[in-house]
Structure 1
Amino acid sequence: MFERPAIGQTAVIVHVAFGERDYSEADREFRELVRSADADVKAHIGGSRLSPDPRYFVGGGKADDIAAAITDNNAALAVFNHDLSPSQERNLEKRLGARVLDRAGLILDIFSRRARSHEGKLQVELAQLRHLATRLVRGWSHLERQRGGIGLRGPGETQLEVDRRLVDDRIALLQKRLRKVAVQRDQSASARRHVSNPLVSMVGYTNAGKSTLFNMLTDTSAYTADKLFATLDPTLRRMSVDVGDPLIVSDTVGFIRDLPHELIAAFRATLEQTRDADLLLHVVDVSNPEQRDQMREVETVLTEIGAGQLPVMAVYNKIDQLAECEPRVEVDTDGHPVRAFVSAETGEGVAALREALGQRCRPDIRRERLEIPAAAGRLRADIYELGQVTEETGTANGNLILDVTASIGDLEAAASRAGWSLSQLRDADDQLTSVDNAAG
């Protein structure tokens, strides 16, 4: 479609400072983005300006420096860590003699590589087309040419208008397909809400180690890589706990600063699944010096999608990269786990985190001593299935004393099915003190 130089992997990257205080971290993240796109970086052009140049964004002199770097390194691509207007991209491509890619286009390219599910591919294509719709003009050298000729004469239509119409038609088709997928997803979510399994949704900045931790918690092998946006499609898996039904854990796309508007709009439906979670697991790269800023970026997106009020447990990952950081779980004044320090890479602290998640999602877990009548064999079997029995002893009259850790609600339901109440089953002579959140 476009009359421009062929795409190449050799690249010159450009990042200009406009008074940012966190330039070094933004530049590091930019380099990670380029690496995630598998580009071969030949040169890095920096600099500073008070404001962007309306024609070339970086100014004529800096554009000449970039052109020289492209020529010297035989590069085919100039990647900017900035959002460029269509006219700026067009002007730069003419001046540099190479393809120009801005930050939004770079992230879109990475997303197109990572999408694996049907919905993810539709969302990425929709975002790409919306981005492309504003840039069709830059590729055409015959914008005023009318379609004509023998058998084709008539009102006429510029080639640009034809392409815009085709893009608009494709966007409408993708939106229709995504609405259908959304209905199917809502039906699946509705079915999940009818079961008792709590849903834990993992969120966090990209490359914080969410997928590696997800695999450790659920004993699965979801795709992981030391690249930004290694995970794009949401994944649901069961996580076993010591007491009660398994939890459902969801791994989602990572967040990043200045995410392109096209992607925010396209992936809003996927991210909104997070609102159905019983608990958000905010995974943080504890070794990153910008962790606080990254946490704020995640919190901002959660607020935008309506998940800002959900309960959150913070997980500080990658403690193996710090000299003095031990695995541990911290609780609030009520004894509820609120923070965990782990290494998903080595497995340190993951078992304690799994136990803490069970406690946090099932707060009615108690340790009880129950006296089971000798004839209530089915009740005994139910209790073994529902909880963790640490000791069983007999009484002189043939009854059984069970020390069990389980959900009070589950125990009450089991006792009711057997024709008893939980208070009747408690051993009055030697009752254990009930302890909140004592699972495990």
Structure 2
Amino acid sequence: MTRAWVLHPDIRSDRDRRDAEMALEEAMALAAALPDLEVAGGAVVPLRDPHPGTLFGSGKIEELAEQLKADEIELVLVDGPVTPVQQRNLEKAWKVKLLDRTGLILEIFSDRAATREGVLQVEMAHLSYQRTRLVRAWTHLERQRGGLGFVGGPGETQIEADRRAIDEQLVRLRRQLDRVVKTRDLHRKARAKVPFPIVALVGYTNAGKSTLFNRLTGAEVMAKDMLFATLDPTMRAVRLPTGIEVILSDTVGFISDLPTELVAAFRATLEEVLAADIILHVRDISHPNTTEQAADVDAIMKSLGVDEEVPLLEVWNKVDLLDGESRDAILTRAAREEDVFAVSALTGEGLQEMLAEVTERLQGETVEEELRLAFDDGRRRSWLFNKGLVQHEHQDEDGFVVKVRWTAKDRAQFETL
């Protein structure tokens, strides 16, 4: 186990700065999500402005050096951006390994990625991140290599050679990823032929999406009280207690200040949200920063281009963690809002009402129609029965006369069969 210490620089000149103690708590929870780390402690470091070469002032660096040595710390995690020069100088001063917020999140994603696509995307994000570190951060990268006509011209520095090697690897990974995405596209098209609506779960990391997913599907998706427990998108066809069949999609948790490398790399894993018929925004309503977390999720959804016309319900999860007046206040507020449901994915409280609303939204307005099907049109007849749309059926000399009750969406899907 590697002993780690978490530092949150509270930069006063940053207008968008978050509550420092809450930010430190989240950063320590991020660190705890890595299996081989023992988080020995953490601290908020107030700063007027970051020092360009060392981030912190010399006095604070010396003070922290003593503390890190006394606690036998091997890894320092800085909850914020650290430039390559700052990283090198701090590692030298403290004699420890150092990771910034982006590096930490990349480590977690590397540990969690399970599908081929997830692994490729993490690798690409890692390489993009490493590429930005090749700015004279380490002295050995400044050596020149001779040009023998095979790789690199005369006088190519080690930095340029490493950067070129990374670029070549990124091109290879991008090609592999394109192949994986094409395969997933085929799967999506195959699912489109099974005309079930898609219900996408989105929310801040650790909001309880996977617990809700497991309760509704009976699937064994990793659901732990830790950040980024789910990384790869998981989809299951499920019949809701109301009788409607849907495809339920569990997505990667959102987080504030998500590294730009990961926003780009993980865009594909959120494509299911773009294709959703209804979105359930799962919120940990017991969390002190639930409002800020919801704002972060909304911002990422907008950046992904999620259509505002897609119906969205807010699921205020973890009411089982509330008690007394705070619980009553949340239940009252949720009851007043049309698109808000207070639930506990753990106990099942409130889920029936939420699922009834999901069903009503997905079914839309239904109309009765009479269809005539030939005797050899068994596939389309079977589809109507499987969807539960048939109200009545009788035969005549030309085939089947089927009375159905369906939505415009059902009709459109039927006509593509």
After TM superposition, the score normalised by the length of structure 1 is: 0.78
1:14 maps onto 2:7 in alignment: yes
Pair 1:247–1:140, CA change in 2 (3 A) = same
1:200 maps onto 2:199 in alignment: yes
Q: Which amino acid aligns with 1:287?
A: S
1:74 maps onto 2:72 in alignment: yes
Pair 1:415–1:357, CA change in 2 (3 A) = farther
Q: Which amino acid aligns with 2:350?
A: G
Q: Distance in 2 between matches of 1:237 and 1:189?
A: 12
Q: Distance in 1 between matches of 2:73 and 2:346?
A: 37
Q: Distance in 2 between matches of 1:288 and 1:304?
A: 24
Pair 1:414–1:76, CA change in 2 (3 A) = farther
In structure 1, the partner of 2:356 is 355
1:312 maps onto 2:301 in alignment: no
Task: Quote how far apart the aligned CAs of 1:145 are.
Answer: 4.2
Paired residues, number: 378
Pair 1:318–1:244, CA change in 2 (3 A) = closer
CA displacement, residues 16-41 of structure 1 (integer Å, 9 cap, x when unaligned): 21233522221211111111124223
CA displacement, residues 240-273 of structure 1 (integer Å, 9 cap, x when unaligned): 1356551100000000000001100100122132
Task: Quote how far apart the aligned CAs of 1:78 are.
Answer: 1.2
Q: Which amino acid aligns with 2:26?
A: E
1:34 maps onto 2:31 in alignment: yes
Task: Quote how far apart the aligned CAs of 1:140 are.
Answer: 4.0
Q: Does the 8 Å contact 1:126/1:174 carry over to 2?
A: yes
Q: Distance in 1 between matches of 2:333 and 2:219?
A: 23
Q: Distance in 2 between matches of 1:293 and 1:61?
A: 34
Give ranges in structure 1 of 5+ residues lacking alignment: 1-7, 369-377, 388-409, 424-440
Larger Rg: 1
1:173 maps onto 2:169 in alignment: no
CA displacement, residues 188-233 of structure 1 (integer Å, 9 cap, x when unaligned): 2223223321100000000000001000011111111111000000
Pair 1:180–1:143, CA change in 2 (3 A) = same
Q: Distance in 1 between matches of 2:120 and 2:254?
A: 19
Q: Distance in 2 between matches of 1:42 and 1:23?
A: 19
Pair 1:29–1:414, CA change in 2 (3 A) = farther
Q: Distance in 2 between matches of 1:220 and 1:27?
A: 33
Q: Which amino acid aligns with 2:401?
A: G
1:130 maps onto 2:128 in alignment: yes
In structure 1, the partner of 2:342 is 341
Q: Which amino acid aligns with 1:162?
A: A
Question: SS where residue 164 of structure 1 aligns?
Answer: helix
1:419 maps onto 2:401 in alignment: yes
Q: Does the 8 Å contact 2:147/2:154 carry over to 1?
A: no
Q: Distance in 2 between matches of 1:134 and 1:145?
A: 20
Pair 1:210–1:142, CA change in 2 (3 A) = closer
1:116 maps to which of 114, 117, 121:
114
Deviates more, 1:306-315 or 1:35-44: 35-44
In structure 2, the partner of 1:3 is none
Q: Does the 8 Å contact 1:281/1:313 carry over to 2?
A: yes
Q: Which amino acid aligns with 1:185?
A: R
Q: Which amino acid aligns with 2:178?
A: R
Deviates more, 1:175-184 or 1:41-50: 41-50
In structure 1, the partner of 2:224 is 225
Pair 1:69–1:358, CA change in 2 (3 A) = same
Question: SS where residue 299 of structure 2 aligns?
Answer: helix
CA displacement, residues 362-390 of structure 1 (integer Å, 9 cap, x when unaligned): 12369x9xxxxxxxxx9xx9998665xxx
In structure 1, the partner of 2:88 is 90
After TM superposition, the score normalised by the length of structure 2 is: 0.82
In structure 2, the partner of 1:434 is none
Task: Quote how far apart the aligned CAs of 1:113 are.
Answer: 0.6
Pair 1:69–1:185, CA change in 2 (3 A) = same
In structure 2, the partner of 1:261 is 260
Pair 1:364–1:418, CA change in 2 (3 A) = farther
Task: Quote how far apart the aligned CAs of 1:164 are.
Answer: 1.8
Pair 1:328–1:235, CA change in 2 (3 A) = farther
Q: Which amino acid aligns with 1:24?
A: E
Question: SS where residue 238 of structure 1 aligns?
Answer: strand
Pair 1:133–1:244, CA change in 2 (3 A) = same
2:54 maps to which of 31, 56, 59:
56
Alignment of 1:399-418 (within 5 A): 410-411=389-390, 418=400
Pair 1:228–1:422, CA change in 2 (3 A) = closer
CA displacement, residues 152-183 of structure 1 (integer Å, 9 cap, x when unaligned): 99835433333222111111111111122222
Q: Distance in 1 between matches of 2:124 and 2:140?
A: 26
Q: Does the 8 Å contact 1:13/1:80 carry over to 2?
A: yes
Deviates more, 1:24-33 or 1:155-164: 155-164
Q: Which amino acid aligns with 2:213?
A: F
Q: Distance in 2 between matches of 1:277 and 1:123?
A: 22
Question: SS where residue 138 of structure 1 aligns?
Answer: coil
Give ranges in structure 2 of 5+ residues lacking alignment: 369-377, 406-417
Q: Distance in 1 between matches of 2:384 and 2:265?
A: 47
In structure 1, the partner of 2:281 is 282
In structure 1, the partner of 2:190 is 191
Alignment of 1:370-381 (within 5 A): none
Q: Distance in 2 between matches of 1:189 and 1:12?
A: 43
In structure 2, the partner of 1:427 is none
In structure 1, the partner of 2:408 is none
Q: Distance in 1 between matches of 2:215 and 2:205?
A: 18
Q: Does the 8 Å contact 1:216/1:350 carry over to 2?
A: no
In structure 2, the partner of 1:24 is 21
Q: Which amino acid aligns with 1:217?
A: L
Q: Does the 8 Å contact 2:91/2:98 carry over to 1?
A: yes
